[in-house]
Amino acid sequence: MTISAALLAAALAVSPSDRMAMADRLFNRGEHAAARKEYLALKGASGVDAEELGYRLVSSASAVGDKAAVRAEGAAFLAAHPAGRHSDRVRLLRALSGTNAEKASELKLLDRDGVAADIRAAALYRMAEATSDSSLYERCFKTDPKGPLAGHAKFRHAYALVGDADPVRRRQGDAELMDLVYGADETLARHALDLVAVHCFHEKRYGECSALLWRYLKKYPGAEGERKITRLLAESELMDGKYASALTLCADESDAELLYVKTVASQRLGNGSEAARLARKYLEEFPAGAARAEVELVIARQELDEAIAGGDPAKILPAAKRCAALAKTGAERLRLAWAYERAGEAENAEAEYAAVARDFPTADVAADALYRRAMSLLRRGKWSAAEVSLAEALASGKLVKERVSPALYWRGMAAHRLGHVEEACGFLRQALEGGGLSIDERREARLLLADEAFNAGRRDEAAAAYASLVRDGALDRMGAAKTLAVGRILSGDEARACARALVASSEAEWRQAGYALLGDIETAATNLTAAAYAYGKCLDQPCTTEAAAPVAVRLGLHYVREGNAADAEKVLERAVKLNANDNEARAMAYLGLARAALLRDDTEGAKRYATVIDTLFENTKAAAEAKEILK
């Protein structure tokens, strides 16, 4: 016989207070229906506290799920005891037995100062459930931080936060979940650890996700959902680039997701043949698997790698097309554009690069695609289109650091070719300041800047720039004409370097110009013997250029100064012929011949040459000395 049956059988022999105590014992043991029968039997009995009995009637009705009784008896209790010691708890039970609208309105009455913390917290928790207002969960665990609902409220609040659009609030959700992870409630700790790890994965914080999941497996071995955790950990390690670690988790090739991770990790580690084997196994065993497309991509990439290693453009392009079709990513599309270039289909490559930039406008690949398109256009001499593409790549702000300076350099070169000299110089200066250019690119940029300074009349700036370039070995980047022009505005060793570069030319015309320049440099340095040697070599060249005419005059006058009349007359006679259109130079040649005649004591010859000067060239520098000779 149960205690309840005994009580009913001896009801008339048991005092109301003892009966109340026994009913409480039943309730506390979980025999809620039996306890409720006893409470109902005590209604109207003397010697029983009416308020206590009324509260128990509401509690027992709630315990057995009789919502109508809770509502009715709760209303009766509150009418009789509106400010009693159990009134707020009865209000809570009555509200929870109502409709959602009744809950929302009645629970609000308990959200006030003076209500016990546990009751107020429970009201806030249930209001949050009824209204989906997650802020009420936060108020719940802050109202009663050590109460029975605090952990659950924090979990639900964190769950709402990690799905928020605001990254700050998502981080707050992570923090609240981590509080639970290190809390005393092991069940909540496990669920919180699971949830925060999943959230990190979705946010692509794979390193954090992996650390949390390793903790989960260590702390809860054999827990429900361990396989799911292992799958997520393997994928997280894969996404974090920890391919070897991912492989250690994928021993079970019968699991579709783990087999997929093992396939991709093997490929990333460079084991293409193993990756291809695993990929084919996946397709055989899981033909409708969720990762079918990704696995087919592994095979396509292996075929592309083999085609590239074989160097056969006819195989590379089809393989690249398959990869791009399967992956549909910017990276694979870039490889397809590169494959078009490799196959010699420059226009198709440029179109694909442009499509990548258009289809992935906010991704880093967009800037890379624009840069590569510009390089292809430059190789085809499409300077204007290349300049536009480079401008777009730089404006994106997403070019990798190593390409910013080259992009500025080529934009400057394109602008220069298009005649926008000032704009070009601005880009070239930026390129030089940023670093990252090859030696040849730096020299070319500096040459153009030096040319701009020279053409703008800033001769000192230009001379300094050219001298620096010559010292840095840039002469091999200059053509012969540029070398001659630079040598003429420089002096000293830098000018000599220009002259020596010319005299080493395979073409006699440039050797002649180089020796002429070298003679002028040595003359300026008063190295007259060296100058005479250079002038002589100039005239010895098997050609006659404009450089020879002034050199013949200078060398002939040098021989006169040395007292070498025979060589002087031979060279100066040639000088007369070479300077047929230059009266000043021809007059100086005749003057040299007059002096040479005097060296030989041939006064008549000297007078004849002086007479020619006085008659034909009276307005030249040589005329005054010719008159002296005639006197």
> How confident is the model over 557-594, as pLDDT tens digits?
999 999 999 999 999 999 999 999 999 999 999 999 99
How many residues are listed for the chain in this entry?
631
Q: Are 98 and 71 in contact (CB under 8 A)?
A: yes
Q: Cα–Cα distance between 22 and 15 in angstroms, integer? A: 11
Count the alpha carbons within 13 Å of 390 in the hemisphere toward its beta carbon: 27
Instruction: Give the model confidence (pLDDT) of 137-178 as tens digits.
Output: 999 999 999 999 999 999 999 999 999 999 999 999 999 999
As given in the structure block, the two tokens for residue 305 are 């790698």
d(CA 333, CA 323): 8
If you ran DSSP here, which 8-state letter would residue 507 be given?
A: S
**What is the rounded distance in angstroms from the CA atom of residue 449 to the CA atom of residue 493?**
22
The reported pLDDT for the residue numbered 600 is: 93
Rounded to an integer, what distance in angstroms lies between the CA atom of residue 291 and that of residue 394? 37
| pLDDT beneath 50, residues of the chain | 1, 5-6, 9-11
Please name the residues in contact with 616: beta carbons below 8 A apart, sequence gap of 6 or more: 583, 587
The Cα 234–Cα 247 span in angstroms is 8
The three-class DSSP label of residue 36 is helix
DSSP string, 456-493: TT-HHHHHHHHHHHHHTTGGGGS-HHHHHHHHHH--HH
CA 42, CA 39: separation in Å to the nearest integer? Answer: 5
> What is the spatial distance between Cα 425 and Cα 49, in angstroms, rounded to a whole number?
99
Which pLDDT belongs to residue 12?
53
Residue 1: the pLDDT is 40
Alpha-carbon distance of 384 to 569, in angstroms, equals: 59
d(CA 208, CA 112) in angstroms, rounded, equals: 41
Nearest by Cα to 396 from 369, 376, 429: 369
Q: Please tell me whether the overall predicted TM-score, pTM, comes out greater than 0.75 for this model.
A: no
| Crossing angle of helices 330-342 and 364-379, rounded to 10° | 10
CA separation for the pair 53, 310 (Å, rounded): 91
Question: Rounded CA gap, 322 and 330, in Å?
Answer: 14
DSSP conformational letter for 110: T
